[in-house]
A and B are shown apart, each in its own frame.
Chain A
Amino acid sequence: VIDERAAFRPHRSYRRPASLARAGWWTSLALTPVVQAAAVLTRGTFARFLTRGAGALVPGGGARFGHDLYLGVRLVPITVNGPSLTRQTLVLWISACAGGLFVLIRRRRLPAPLRFIGVANLGLVGATACYLLFMGRLGYDPAAFSALYVRTSLTIWLIVPVFMGMVALTLPFTVLERIGLVLFCLAYEGAFATVRYAVFVWVLGEVGSVVMPSMYLFFGPLLDFVTFTGIYAVLLARLARRMALTEGAWRWL
């Protein structure tokens, strides 16, 4: 009976991966601190790439750089000077956000998740404008925000190996694939964070600090982790295809 059962592909409810070599899992686990150490060692290079790269990408060029010290790295965040926001400008922002919110809530043509995202961001911008109107200033000015962004990106760079390393351990990848996933996420983070930094600097220079909370809380670290999920999903789909075509990829419970 057992031999006959082995001839069938295990039903999805009663199967688990057969190809996983325990040594591969433990090797991957042991290599995670090594990759982590590499990320720590290259943190200065990453920070320089981020700031200098973004500086070169900012439209108009001529970016000026400040100084900051974080986690033992001398950072050079781009100095940003946004336009000053008068009371009239802030009232205009509040009115525009209220109008946008009204339209999004009343007109339900957009799919609900997109409406919720729109409402959240308009709410963030509107709340920030109100805060500026009544309190006079935010906790971060554009220059401090620029430094915060670089610090945030550097921190993400340092935690990617642990987070994605642990995530990669949940799948029957090979050791190389697991390390590849982490390294690809790191490389992507380098490029993505740099381009986004340039965009943020440009937007801040054009519209001022009223959009900073939306940038940071919605288009900041959240988006980094979404892209990591995307990279994970692409590799997962590839793994699924490979396992579907591989004889003996599965074992019974």
Chain B
Amino acid sequence: MEVVVALRAYLIVVVIVMATYAVRHWVFTLNRLFVKQRPYYQDLLDQQPVPVSVLMPMHNESAVAEDALATLLASDYPDGFLEIIPIDDHSEDDTPEILRRYAAAYPAIRPLYRRGRENRGKPSALNDGLAEIVNEVVLVFDADYEPPPDTVRELAAGFGDPEVGAVMGRVIPRNTEGSLLARLLDLERAGGYQADQQARYSLDLIPQYGGTVAGFRSSLTNSWGGFDPRMLAEDTDLTFRLYTRGWRVAYANGVECYEEVPETWDARFKQLRRWARGHTQAMFRHLVPVIRSPYLSIPQKLDGLLLLAIYMIPPLLLTGLVANLLLFLTGAVPLGPSLALSFFVVSYNAFGNFAPFYQVGAAGLLDGMGDRMRLLPHLFFLFLFNSAAVSLGFLGGMVDMVKRRDVTWEKTERFRR
């Protein structure tokens, strides 16, 4: 009998947590659609350009490296103000050759070659890049990104505001014709950026630095010794380091940059698991600092805590379903919480960026996606898949914390044809 009471209580707790997230995203959606939005720093675009260093970590990126470098070289940022530092991180394919060829042809490209060191992965690659530069403004792009010509100029403009510690642009999938998964991820990204990030920026909450199509002040990261090589989510880590020290992240919804999303389920599974694991590490590191920070307002603290805990949603929903099963087997299903759980399972189907369907729908409307929005109910089929990947990553992050073990970086597979 006590077990039944405990299961019911657990189910009710899950429903309360999910309802909190549902209301949060409902407010974000209403804000993005119906309230005047906060623009990025368009009025600073004509300011005197500042020297910018672009860091681009690469590991076996021969399929995409040339496109990324070519699009960066086509940037409209003034000559002499932009240096591009591709960081070859122990590649075993043609990536080093490509970098050598481009470095010989273009003086703005100064590649770094990492060999024979213990720390592999993006955070330590960025640290090596930071050791090579003197510029204050650093932009980061992953190797599968193709920034349009004005991206560097627009992202750099945000640093004209002395309160801004980092900037973040918008990520848009370019390979949506590749597979149904890629099209579903396109919907998910729209919900995450067009609605979620923009609303959080407008509401002066905590828009997230996402680690690519993004930038930060090198003096800040250098002041705390660079990125932690043990973190799989160096982006979330940086976001909260900045906010808890009184800095802000500026979100540029109009700075659209194209990326390649996973086209296969295996690649997506690994990517989600890595994100969840890294985010869980960041959650344990920043939970207390967020609560204690004197620089954050109450709404920012609340948003920060919900953001940190967002990868707990899938494990919560899965365990909620298990509790529901046990209650069913014992003949004690509480109808209200049980139905609410079903609603939240369906509602939170876009797990990558954790946007409920109504937020994804609103973002799709703003993006002019048209008939593609009919795919929305298909996101439900991702539920168990995403939940399994995120729950495994969440557990991995917990083990990382307990055992203080080193992590290995798993690169996302590329699909460029």
User: Which A positions have Cβ atoms within 8 angstroms of B?
Assistant: 11-17, 20, 25, 111-114, 116-117, 119-120, 124, 127-128, 131, 135, 138-140, 144, 148, 151-152, 155-156, 159, 163, 166-167, 169-172, 212-213, 216-217, 220-222, 224-230, 232-234, 236-237, 239-241, 243-244, 253
Contacts and interface: CB of A to CB of B under 8 A. Distances in A.
Given A139-B328, A232-B358, A152 B373 contact: no
B37 A139 contact: no
A233 B361 CA distance: 7
B34 A240 contact: no
A116 B388 contact: yes
Contacts of B339: 152, 155-156, 159, 221
B300 interface: no
A178 B328 CA distance: 35
Given A217-B325, A226-B380, A253-B37, 4 more contacts: A12-B368, A113-B385, A253-B38, A253-B39
Contacts of B265: 111-113
Interface string B310-337: 0000000000010011011111110110
10 contacts: A17-B365, A113-B382, A113-B384, A119-B384, A140-B331, A170-B359, A217-B325, A225-B343, A230-B377, A239-B365
Interface residues of B, number: 63
B369 to A, nearest CB: 7
Nearest to A169: B30
B253 interface: yes
A171 B362 contact: yes
B170 A221 contact: no
3 residue pairs, one from A and one from B, having the closest CB atoms: A139-B331, A112-B265, A221-B342
Contacts of A221: 338-339, 342-343
A192 to B, nearest CB: 14
A97 to B, nearest CB: 15
Given A12-B368, A170-B29, A237 B331 contact: no
Contacts, number: 168
Interface of chain B: mostly helix, strand, loop or mixed:
helix
- Which of B32, B36, B365 has the largest number of chain A CB atoms within 10 A? B365
Nearest to B34: A20
A213 B187 CA distance: 32
B120 to A, nearest CB: 28
B381 A170 contact: no
A253 B373 CA distance: 23
A248 B266 CA distance: 44
Contacts of A127: 325
A25 B34 contact: yes
Contacts of A114: 381
Contact of A213 (B29, B328, B347, B359): B328
A20 B362 CA distance: 14
Contacts of A243: 365
Contacts of A111: 265
B33 A229 contact: no
Given A163-B343, A230-B376, A253-B37, A13 B362 contact: no
B331 A144 contact: yes
B253 A13 contact: yes
B377 A112 contact: no
Contacts of B357: 229, 232-233
Contacts of A113: 265, 381-382, 384-385
Contacts of B294: none
Given A12-B194, A229-B346, A116 B324 contact: no
Given A139-B328, A213-B329, A234 B366 contact: no
A240 B385 contact: no
B303 interface: no
A128 B329 contact: yes
B369 A240 contact: yes
Given A112-B266, A234-B374, A170 B33 contact: yes
A183 to B, nearest CB: 18
Nearest to B384: A116
Nearest to A213: B328
Contacts of A227: 377
Contacts of B330: 139
- Which of A113, A166, A224, A227 has the largest number of chain B CB atoms within 10 A? A113
A114 B34 CA distance: 38
